[in-house]
Amino acid sequence: MSLPTVASLCASLPGALGPAAGFTVTDDEVSAVHVSELQDPAGYLSGGELLLTTGLALPDNEIGCDRYVSRLRAAGVAALGLGLGPSVSAVPDALTAACARHELCLLVVPPEAAFLTVTKAYWTARSRSTQQELTDAITAHRSLVDAMVSRNPVGETLKALSRAIGAWVARLDASGVVEHVFPTARVSDALAIAEQLAALKVAGMHSSATFPSGDDVVAVFPLPLEDRVVGYIAIGSAEPLGATARRLVLTAGALLSLDSVQRHRADAATQARMQDIATLLDMGFVEPARRLISRAGLTALGDAMRVLVVRSTRTADVTEAVHRWVRDALPGPSEAGLAWFIVPEVHPEVARLQKLLIEVDPEFAAVLSEATAPATVHRIRIGMFDRVGSIPVGALAAPTGLSQDTGTIRDGVRRVLEYGRVDLVGTLVAYLRNRGQWDAAAREVGVHRNTVRHRMGTIRELLGADLEDPDVAATTWLYLRDNGFA
């Protein structure tokens, strides 16, 4: 709140309050008007007051006046007002010298003016200031609400907030990435703040923080949504925010949180459709999944895709991290701390995904499959569920560059998987696990040994490789195991 100053108070009381000879009124704020006839009123002062006295107990010597003024100065008095009248008819020279020596503004109230006039003028000015501030605050709050219902709610809200508090404003996402800045000329400042937030590990915090940045004081406020933080507002100004400005920031934060709720609901509807598509693929209904993708306006399925499985107790945060890595990832229904996704064959660097997962859950573990046909998603997922249990905490197992032999095996296994008449992969796994023993493989699969022989003939044709070669058999087994088939 803006307080009346010594200068403004004198200007509002011409002829009733003015500077003594040799003094100039100051722009110091006046916290209150206090009347005291004590020789030492310091114990009753809190600082910033205009102290009025008739001089009834004023010392009549230079040393006494010096001590009196020294105590007032130490108490933080903004100015001393001497009322002329029965006690003193003129300003004592000793008081004038003491005030000049201690740089305390000395004012005079003439005999025809009353202290009550000064007090009334002060509180009238303060009330007017409070009323104006309240009006400005209401106007600013209304502008924030109006901005929130505009076509660009986030950008317009930041603009209204910036103009109301006289500071640059930025919105950051939950990971500390800058999304919007106003004015745009302060983008570099906002990016610098994002780097500082990352260094301070502020992302994920639920309380505000204040710290210096260059010539600015920066305050960061979280945007909560239920039990999560969905973003932040960063405010940069030359001076720390006052109470009114902080209230406006909190209002803007609440409005932006509501915007996050609306976006969250829209995202939830999209997530539900994407989850339905992943479920259809997991059940083997490839064509219905393709039709639903087309109807929903999502990216069309390719001929190959990958399965990602993440072990984490924070599946909602993991889902957000995966979508920051690749927007088109299809989330499947999570099961007992395991989140799984169908991701495009071609995707961003895996190192980026690992970094995002560490940020949301340092205890995660994940595994990413080789590219596979849509019809084999379920088998791959089950294998990845088994494999992720052996992945160390904080690690992400992903395919590395393939040798020519492994690439040939991969293409052959894909042809085996796409063979729709019978489960050839189970037969291949049983055959390799039992080192080519027909009877043991037949018992594991539950068919006659001659059936295993017939199936293995088909498998050899599809693989295009000789499984009697120990190197080929070993490469095939390792590929099947690493991708969750064995």
The reported pLDDT for the residue numbered 402 is 44
Q: Calculate ∠ Cα 435-436-440, nearest 5°.
A: 85
Domains of the chain, with CATH numbers? 6-124 (3.40.1390.20), 149-262 (3.30.450.40), 302-398 (3.30.70.270), 400-486 (1.10.10.2840)
Nearest alpha-carbon partner for 436 in 476, 396, 386, 376 = 476
The span from the CA of 247 to the CA of 298, in Å, is 41
Q: Considering only 126-130, 360-364, 472-476, which range has the smallest mean pLDDT?
A: 126-130
Given a contact cutoff of 8 angstroms between Cβ atoms, the answer to whether 10 and 57 are in contact is: no
Q: What is the pLDDT of residues 204-229, one digit of tens each?
A: 455 677 778 778 888 888 877 666 67
Give the whole-angstrom CA distance, residue 145 versus residue 148: 5
What does the pLDDT average to over 249-254? 80
Closest CA to 476 of 418, 421, 427: 427
Write the single-letter amino acid at 345: E
**What is the C-alpha to C-alpha distance for residues 62 and 94, in angstroms, rounded to an integer?**
5
pLDDT, residue 239, reads 81
Write down the pLDDT at residue 67.
Answer: 94
pLDDT of residue 24: 94
Structure tokens, 5:
């100053």
Among 297, 394, 389, 286, CA closest to 342: 286
pLDDT: is 319 or 229 the higher one?
A: 319
3-class SS of residue 50: strand
Q: What is the pLDDT of residue 203?
A: 47
| Least-confidence region, from 130-144, 184-198, 315-329, 351-365 | 130-144
Question: DSSP class of residue 298?
Answer: P
The residues pairing with 431 across neighbouring beta strands, listed in sequence order, are none
Residue 474 confidence class, pLDDT cut points 50, 70, 90: confident
Tell me what pLDDT residue 284 has. 86
CA–CA gap between residue 379 and residue 375 (Å, rounded):
9
Q: What is the pLDDT of residues 156-167, one digit of tens each?
A: 888 888 888 889
Residue 405 in this model has a pLDDT that exceeds 60: no
**What's the CA gap between 330 and 397, in Å, rounded?**
19
Q: Which residues contact 421 (CB under 8 A, 6 or more apart)?
A: none
Which range, of 48-57, 198-207, 251-260, averages the lowest pLDDT?
198-207
pTM beyond 0.75: the answer is no
Which residues, in sequence order, are CB contacts of 394 under 8 Å at separation 6+?
358, 362, 363, 364, 365
Q: Work out the average pLDDT over 272-293.
A: 88
What distance in Å separates the CA atoms of residue 283 and residue 262, rounded to the nearest whole number? 32
For 14-56, the pLDDT digits (tens) are 999 999 999 999 999 999 999 999 989 988 999 999 999 999 8
| Tokens representing residue 113 in the block | 């003016």
Model confidence at 312, pLDDT cuts 50, 70, 90, reads very high
> Residue 267: what pLDDT?
65
